Structure 1
Amino acid sequence: MLDFFTIFSKGGIVLWYFQGTSQIFTQSVNSLIKSVILQERTGSNQFTHEALTLKYKLDNEFELIYVVAYQKILQLSYVDKFLDAIQLEFRNKYKDDLQNSALSSNFDFRQDFDRILFEVEHAAKKQIQKGKVMKSFEESEKSKKSVKSMIENKKEEPPKKSGKGKENKPVKKTPVKEQEVKKTSSVPMATSNTSNGELDEETIRKNRERLFGPAKKKKSAADVSKSPKSPDNNKKRVKVGTKWVLGGTSEDAKELDYTDGTADNLDVNGVGVSLKDEELDYVGRMKGELRDVETESESEEEEEEETVTQKTSSKKSSGGMFSMFKNLVGSKMLTEEDVAPVLDKFREHLVSKNVAADIALKLCESVSAKLEGKVLGTFSSINSTVKTALTESLVQILSPRRRVDILRDAMDSKQKKQPYCITFCGVNGVGKSTNLAKICFWLIENGFRVLIAACDTFRAGAVEQLRTHTRKLNALHPAERHGGQQMVQLYEKGYGKDAAGIAMEAINFARDCHIDIVLVDTAGRMQDNEPLMRALAKLIKVNQPDLVLFVGEALVGNEAVDQLTKFNQALADHSNMTNPRLIDGIILTKFDTIDDKVGAAISMTYTTGQPIVFVGTGQTYTDLRNLNAKAVVHALLK
């Protein structure tokens, strides 16, 4: 039933393996290592790759990993028990070799493996057979019932009880007598000669009229017209049109125009654009690689450390000589119960720092699995050990699996005489066009010619916004400084057009005009909007950009997971490809507005596994940074 089993160390040394088929499992095991173990996603012990299901178990004391693989279509309930039994047997048999780090020795484990597998499979089959045995009639509940209790008698229904517990007795109808009606009202009532003393309908109606008066009739249209309050019918009512102030006519256009009269003289080359002195200082500040996100100065950190040490020293002196050893645990093997209280506090702390609740829970489960069975040092506390492990996991998550070097990739495409294409996508209002302009300014500073494709044909003012950025960028880098070449151009076809077609035309135009980079701006769309998501998938499928960047806010928490998951899912579903293009990187905007609540960075990278390429820290062209993983983790855990 099992196709593959292996035991290997975290350093990559294979100690023993079993292979039941001729299938090659190298790719599946490598995918498990890259996607789960190295990315700190070991909270769940199951991983699926193509047609295989891989289950694994970590032995943190000896730094070993046990992996078993079987077909995904099979539902094997005994695999977890098998892994526990195998781990216990292997540890007991080769404990001395593992402690002496003799990993190159010959481990003869086939007989033990076959014995444990047979025992576990045999126990699972017995349990299944026991569950399938049918009960006899004497063992069933139906046999305990008598024939009389199974007969339903609808006539003998139990009396209904009210809320107070008393039985509701049927109300007897008392006939209304003529003398009682006369006593209750001074108005003379109509009488009827009935044999049983009850009143007929006609008599009841007459009595009601005498008590309350005759029913009022609704006035007809003719009566209304005859009333003295109605206006004279001979006069015709004339409808007066509503006059709106500044309603948008040609005469109001002059009053609505607040420009200084120089807009007509502007062109996309930036001629006539007035720049401030602080904007002129932007030029030359963005050459080369971007700077990392700024963190607290070293002096501030040193001051904090001094204050902490002073507080701890005062506590130690007041508590006695041996109080410093109170929280220290030496040579203790950690269990899940030891780590759980500390991890619960860290999980609440991460959620308060804007980490999505599901992601925080998975992180803590991964750290728990990583620490279970690990032996503490002599002067190590559980709190410090958990914090160190969590810090390592967070840094590992934020560290990119692959480096996205746009300058190097754009230079390679330039040598091949092909434009390097970047597509920006995201939800509404996150700052796609603004950050596109920042990246464009950074690329111009490094000597690349850029073409902006205005593929947001849905939002009013989107093309005009890009045209304004193009004018200002060309004013900051005029063509005279670059040998007469215009550094930024805008390719736009107006509104209501097909975005995929505009992007294709823009890429072809850039190729013909030898433009280095194409930046494709798309319309903002919610992750639940299927028509717009289908249009985005079409744009990416048709044009195959070199880089697909998702622009997300640093303000969001749980919403970040939903956005990225549904964007990736929509791109995969609507592309109709076996290997669809998904999100390649993330731009985190409005990073300067969140103080130390930087949890969205963790949520986004954990969801997609893709790196944060850029971080927006302001509203000017120079407010663009690289993500510093250690700085983010420091802000997250302080």
Structure 2
Amino acid sequence: MLDHVSIFSQSGAVLWSRSLCKLRGNPVDALVKTVLLEERTGRKEFNYDAYQMRWTLENKLNLVLVVVYQKVLQLLYVDELLERLKNEVVAQFQDEILTRTPIAFDENFDRILRDVESNYMKSKRSINNPPALSSKKIGAARADTNSDATSKAIEDSENSAASADELDRLKHELKLVGPSKQAKPMRTGPRPSKFKKESKKSADTKTNAKKPALSYDIKTKISQKDIEKYDRSKALDEVEEQAMLDAKRRENIGDDTMSDNEDEASESEQSSSDAGSSWSFGQTRLGDFLQKVSGNKVLAREDLAPVLDQFRQTLMSKNVASEVAEELCESVMTTMIGKHLESFTRIQTVVQKALETALLRILTPKKSTDVLREVLAAREAGRCYSIVFVGVNGVGKSTTLSKVCYYLKSRGVKVMIAACDTFRSGAVEQLNQHCKVLDVPLFERGYAKDPAAVAREAIAHGNENGFDCVLIDTAGRMQNNEPLMRALAKLVSVNNPDLVLFVGEALVGNDGIDQLSLFDRALVDYSDRQDPRRIDGIVITKFDTIDDKVGAAVSMVYKTGQPIMFVGTGQKYTNLTKLNIKTVLRSLLS
């Protein structure tokens, strides 16, 4: 059921791998680039094409174990398999791991995989097959099935009675049978097996007078002494009750049964011995302090959880989405468990440093954010560079487009603006005013036109007339408006622009994640291209209104992996800057 298993160090040395079938693409490389290198290990799984991957880390030896399997299978034993593989590798190949030497792990892997799969199949069968009935339940079921026959036999006995005396004798006999639960009225449902046997004997007395119905004379009156002897309704004193319980224990358990006091004493001794065996000097305050001072303190989840919980609350207060804050803190915890704490170092200091490193790695762009250089490279190639601006209503797409236009025009780029918002009233007139102030041409075809066709004509016009860049404005739309999202996906799919920028506000938290994710998902779902275009970058507006609540930048970048191209810091055309990552880090962790 597995497709691929890899064991490699965090430095990139592959120690062992096994492909059980041919893979399409390279999902492990995608996992390394998208998750491991970008501090996203707080996730539990990662999807790539038709594959799903799960992994585990061994931080003491800087080891990574990855399992790849088909996404539709949903294997439930993968976590157990990874844990057993990690324990086996660490126990047997520590020297090879430290020296980055490939290991011979085929036999070990086959054995562990067989064990895990067989255990999984056994548990699956036990769930699908109900447990067999016990002998006591079977006896009760048989008694139920025979109850009707018993009632019929009793009824026949009554009907065939020769005289009223015999009928009275039979009724008197039934009153003497067992407890009150068995002395229910006749012909009313199932009877216990004992009652069936007794009633059968009473019926036989009619046909065979020589065989007595009971072992005692039913005509004999029961004495008061016997009544008191068999009366179980009165309460016993403690001595009699304890004696009776002891007798029952010896009868059903054996002579070696211990008394309650002996059991309690034994349990207390066992618990004290267990507590003594699990106690260690390192668990005391003094021992923990000495371990921190000497550098022998090994970080565990219990040490990191309180500190990371404080940082998680801090991140959420700085407008980081709660989902992103939790995944980020879980990622830091995953990478720190098992590592040694340096001498004279506080856990909070180490955690803050690790969190700062993770945030720096997330916010650092993985590709070029120099739009000007890309535009100049396209001009050298003799074509017009196209940029599409997308986003929800009211975030400032048109204003941001005008700022980018000013930024490029002030650096010698010949720019044209295309009015492809044919849905909102006044959108074309708004862009026309910006174009007059910036002294750039506007390409427009009015309202109620196909935005994709207008964008195609604008790009063609730019190529024919020697423009270096075409900035394409689109209608604002909510992320759950399917008709408009389909129109946007069509515009991007038909024209294949060089850059698709998502414009979002710095004021939003969780909602910004939802907007960005659904826009990106819509470009994929509604595209007719085999390799659909997605969002290439992010522009954050109103960044000057949030003080130190800069978490939206982290949330958007973490969720998509795309860089922040520009940041809007005011209403003027000049209020457009690049994101200062160090300033963001100081604001987040202060």
Q: Quick check: TM above 0.5? A: yes
Alignment of 1:605-620 (within 5 A): 605-620=557-572
Tell which has more relative contact order, 1 or 2 (C-alpha 8 A, sep 6+). Answer: 1
Give 3-state SS (helix, strand or coil) of 2:109's partner. helix
Alignment of 1:280-359 (within 5 A): 330-359=295-324
2:377 is the counterpart of 1:412? yes
2:65 is the counterpart of 1:58? no
2:427 is the counterpart of 1:462? yes
Is contact 1:453-1:521 (8 Å) kept? yes
Counterpart position of 1:593: 545
2:124 is the counterpart of 1:128? yes
2:390 is the counterpart of 1:425? yes
For residue 444 of structure 2, the aligned residue among 482, 488, 492 is 492
Is contact 1:5-1:18 (8 Å) kept? yes
1:260-313 Cα distance to aligned partner (Å, 9 max, x none)? xxxxxxxxxxxxxxxxxxxxxxxxxxxxxxxxxxxxxxxxxxxxxxxxxxxxxx
1:441-491 Cα distance to aligned partner (Å, 9 max, x none)? 1111111111100112222322222222212212xxxxxxxxxxxxx2111
2:351 is the counterpart of 1:386? yes
For residue 418 of structure 2, the aligned residue among 453, 463, 466 is 453
Counterpart position of 1:103: 100
> Normalization by structure 1: what TM-score?
0.67
Q: Decide whether aligned partners of structure 1 residues 131 and 562 sit closer, same or farther in structure 2, where only a CA change above 3 A counts.
A: same
Return the letter of the residue paired with 1:61: K
Counterpart position of 1:629: 581
CA distance in 2, matches of 1:426, 1:623: 19
Return the letter of the residue paired with 1:567: F
Q: Decide whether aligned partners of structure 1 residues 579 and 390 sit closer, same or farther in structure 2, where only a CA change above 3 A counts.
A: same
- Number of matched pairs: 447
Is contact 1:13-1:103 (8 Å) kept? yes
Give 3-state SS (helix, strand or coil) of 1:592's partner. helix
Shift of the alpha carbon at 1:59?
0.9
CA distance in 2, matches of 1:75, 1:619: 51
CA distance in 2, matches of 1:511, 1:415: 13
Counterpart position of 2:113: 117
Shift of the alpha carbon at 1:18?
2.1
Return the letter of the residue paired with 2:69: Y
List runs of 5+ in structure 1 lacking aligned partners.
150-323, 475-487
Return the letter of the residue paired with 1:20: L
Give 3-state SS (helix, strand or coil) of 2:526's partner. helix
> Normalization by structure 2: what TM-score?
0.72
1:217-255 Cα distance to aligned partner (Å, 9 max, x none)? xxxxxxxxxxxxxxxxxxxxxxxxxxxxxxxxxxxxxxx
Counting aligned pairs with the same residue, the percent is 49
Return the letter of the residue paired with 1:381: R
CA distance in 2, matches of 1:535, 1:107: 54
Shift of the alpha carbon at 1:25?
6.8
Give 3-state SS (helix, strand or coil) of 2:362's partner. helix
Return the letter of the residue paired with 1:31: A
Is contact 2:366-2:563 (8 Å) kept? yes
Counterpart position of 1:6: 6
Is contact 1:137-1:143 (8 Å) kept? no
CA distance in 2, matches of 1:144, 1:614: 81
Counterpart position of 1:18: 18
Q: Decide whether aligned partners of structure 1 residues 556 and 327 sit closer, same or farther in structure 2, where only a CA change above 3 A counts.
A: farther
CA distance in 2, matches of 1:52, 1:633: 35
Is contact 1:329-1:382 (8 Å) kept? no
Return the letter of the residue paired with 2:566: F
1:174-195 Cα distance to aligned partner (Å, 9 max, x none)? xxxxxxxxxxxxxxxxxxxxxx
Counterpart position of 2:42: 43
CA distance in 2, matches of 1:102, 1:595: 49
1:411-441 Cα distance to aligned partner (Å, 9 max, x none)? 1211222110000111111111111111111
Shift of the alpha carbon at 1:26?
6.5
Is contact 1:39-1:397 (8 Å) kept? yes
Return the letter of the residue paired with 2:560: T
Q: Decide whether aligned partners of structure 1 residues 327 and 504 sit closer, same or farther in structure 2, where only a CA change above 3 A counts.
A: same
1:573-628 Cα distance to aligned partner (Å, 9 max, x none)? 22133321111111000000000000000111112111110000111111111112
Q: Decide whether aligned partners of structure 1 residues 600 and 377 sit closer, same or farther in structure 2, where only a CA change above 3 A counts.
A: same
1:170-216 Cα distance to aligned partner (Å, 9 max, x none)? xxxxxxxxxxxxxxxxxxxxxxxxxxxxxxxxxxxxxxxxxxxxxxx
Alignment of 1:168-567 (within 5 A): 330-474=295-439, 488-567=440-519
- Which has the larger share of helix? 2
Return the letter of the residue paired with 1:437: S
The CA RMSD over aligned residues, in Å, is 2.5
